[in-house]
Amino acid sequence: MNVEHLPIYKSAMDFCLYIETIVRGFEKYHKYSIGQDLRAHSKKILFLINRSNRAEQKIPLLLELVELCEQSKMLLQLSQALKSFKSFKQFEHASKLCIAIVKQAQAWLNHYQNQTKNSARVVR
């Protein structure tokens, strides 16, 4: 399946593009510190979705994806505490995008974990 058709990929692409846009508006210090971390995480999420989609063993990659999304949420919260965002609306929108990805990643992970459990039952 082509990754561009996956809803989680579309959400991750939106998140990545939004992060690129808002980090541009960060003050110089935050742009090159926490802004760089946010940008790197958003790209890693996008790449990891692609890898997970193509992999035969999806569960380890999906666990990594969920963890990376959780780290991104923490970076967003830290950025808000440091007052890096120009407005609360930017933080709120970025958080909503990130949470949408976390929910989709967790659902994807749950699907494959349940599938693995069901196959183990059939084998017995």
Q: How far apart are CA 64 and CA 88, in angstroms?
A: 29
Q: Which two tokens stand for residue 7?
A: 């809803």
Q: How far apart are CA 91 and CA 85, in angstroms?
A: 6
Q: Which domains does the chain have, with CATH numbers?
A: 8-123 (1.20.1440.60)
- State pLDDT tens for residues 85-113: 999 999 999 999 999 999 999 999 999 99
Give the Cβ contact number of residue 72 at 10 Å. Answer: 26
- State pLDDT tens for residues 3-19: 889 999 999 999 999 99
DSSP codes, 21-75: HHHTTS-HHHHTTHHHHHHHHHHHHHHHHHHHHH-SSHHHHHHHHHHHHHHHHHH
Q: How far apart are CA 53 and CA 49, in angstroms?
A: 6
For tokens 């058709």, what's the residue? 5
Higher per-residue pLDDT: 72 or 117: 72
Give the Cβ contact number of residue 21 at 10 Å. Answer: 11
| pLDDT at residue number 70 | 96
Torsion angle of C-alpha atoms 113, 49, 38, 102, degrees rounded to 10: -40
- Predicted TM-score (pTM) of the model is 0.89
Helix, strand, coil share (%) of the chain residues, nearest 5: 85, 0, 15
